[in-house]
Amino acid sequence: MKLEVNKEDKVSQHLLLTGKPGTGKTNLIKEAIARSKIKAGGFYTEEIRSSGIRQGFKIITLDGKEAILAHVNISSPFQVSKYKVDVDNLNKVGVSATQRALQECDLIIIDEIGKMELLSPQFRETVWQAINGGKKVLGTIMLNPNPFCDEIKHHPEVKVLLVTRDNRKQALAEIQSWLVENENRA
């Protein structure tokens, strides 16, 4: 069930979910933090759909700010697959929310560390600040190999949890257990 890069018995400082698209990683994070008492900040991403067809992605901060991350109908020099990526929106909304969370919260939510987000040098720098900043990070990270992501996955304080459609219930229980352990250490 699990892809655990950090296999030690101690509770890892950071928990990153990985898996194929559509396995519910973002929903697991949203559900788990809704049940947690830890003060959390940061952002998650959601699909933008029109007539049932995915048109792009938006960033939503835990305090309610929204911006388009990527869309088929925007102009940008940055592109991943068919989506043009708005790196400025990522920096203004996603990176800013993560930096605020580093100052004000006990738990940093970063959803996700993926191809689109990695186009921003500010985002990459902020991810490292979060990983090395002494706060807890709960997030998602791309499954496929990538030098930046692989370095994060192998950080000694990071545990990586593989989420599939078949293990969502167990994954939620594991996330909640990790949160409880971290609430007790906060």
What are 125-134's pLDDT values in tens digits?
999 999 999 9
Classify 38 as helix, strand or coil: coil
pLDDT of residue 181: 87
Q: How far apart are CA 72 and CA 66, in angstroms?
A: 18
Classify 83 as helix, strand or coil: strand
* pLDDT of 138 strictly over 80: yes
Q: At a CB cut-off of 8 Å and minimum separation 6, what does 174 contact?
A: 2, 161
Q: Where are the beta strands (DSSP E) in 62-157?
A: 66-71, 78-80, 83-85, 107-113, 136-141
Q: How far apart are CA 175 and CA 28, in angstroms?
A: 8
89, 122 Cβ separation under 8 angstroms: no
* pLDDT of 53 strictly over 80: yes
* pLDDT of 3 strictly over 50: no
What does each C-alpha distance from 150 to 84, 122, 141, 144 come to in angstroms?
25, 18, 9, 9
> In this predicted model, which residue has the larger pLDDT, 3 or 92?
92
pLDDT of residue 126: 98
* pLDDT of 85 strictly over 90: yes
Mean of pLDDT over the chain = 93
Single pTM value for the model: 0.92
Amino acid (one-letter) located at 82: K
CB atoms within 10 A of CB 140: 24
When pLDDT is cut at 50, 70 and 90, the band that residue 11 belongs to is confident
Tokens 């545990």 label which residue? 159
Which of 17, 1, 4, 13 lies closest to 139 in space, CA to CA?
A: 17
When pLDDT is cut at 50, 70 and 90, the band that residue 185 belongs to is low
> Structural domains in the chain?
14-44+58-63+87-185 (3.40.50.300)
6, 158 Cβ separation under 8 angstroms: yes
Q: How far apart are CA 33 and CA 107, in angstroms?
A: 9
* pLDDT of 123 strictly over 50: yes
pLDDT of residue 7: 44
Q: How far apart are CA 170 and CA 166, in angstroms?
A: 9
* pLDDT of 69 strictly over 90: yes
* pLDDT of 10 strictly over 80: no
pLDDT of residue 9: 52
* pLDDT of 122 strictly over 50: yes
